[in-house]
Amino acid sequence: MLRKVDKHSGVPAYLQIVNMIKSEILLGNLQKGAQLPSVRDLQVIFDVNINTVLKALEKLKNEGYIESEQGVGYFVKKDIDVNKEVIEIIRECVSKLKNGRIDYYTAMLIFEEVWKNE
C-alpha cells in the first residue's frame, strides 16, 4: 500500500518511498511488468517533491527492481518470490503482538535487537 511519507520519522523520505515500493513488490501487490503510477501521481501519493520521487525511483532502478521508458512510464522488472510461509509467520506474529499492548515502534526496536543478537 502506497501512502504518505512520515515526515517526522527521521528516516529520509526517499528511503521510505523505496521501502514502500519494495514492499509492494515483495508482497506480490505489484507484479512483474506492472506499471507504477506516473511520477506526478506518486508526488501526490507520497506528498513530496517530484525530485524526491525521482531519487527513490533512481535507486530502485539501480537495484534492478524497476525500469523506465521515457514518455511511457515505470514498470516492475523483478518479480521477487518470497516464501508464502515466511509471510504467514510474520502475519501470525504481528497478530499476536497487536493483541498485546505494544506499539509498532517498540515492537520494531525489540525485533531488531533480537535479530541482531540472538
Q: Which is nearer to DNA, 59 or 97 (CB)?
A: 59
Minimum gap (Å) between residue 40 Cβ and a second copy: 25
39 forms part of the interface with DNA (CB under 7 A) = yes
In this structure, are residues 53 and 16 in contact, taking their beta carbons and an 8 Å threshold? no
Whole-angstrom Cα distance, residue 2 to residue 19? 10
CB-CB contact of 21 with 2 (8 Å): yes
Chosen from DNA, a second copy, none, partner binding at 64 (C-beta under 5 to 8 Å by type): none
Cα–Cα distance measured from residue 86 to residue 34, given in angstroms and rounded to the nearest whole number: 24
Q: Determine if 106 is a binding residue for a second copy (CB under 8 A).
A: yes
Indicate the length of the chain as a whole number: 118
Which chain residues interact with a second copy by CB under 8 A?
1, 3, 10-12, 15, 19-20, 22-24, 26-27, 82-83, 85-87, 89-98, 100-102, 104, 106-118
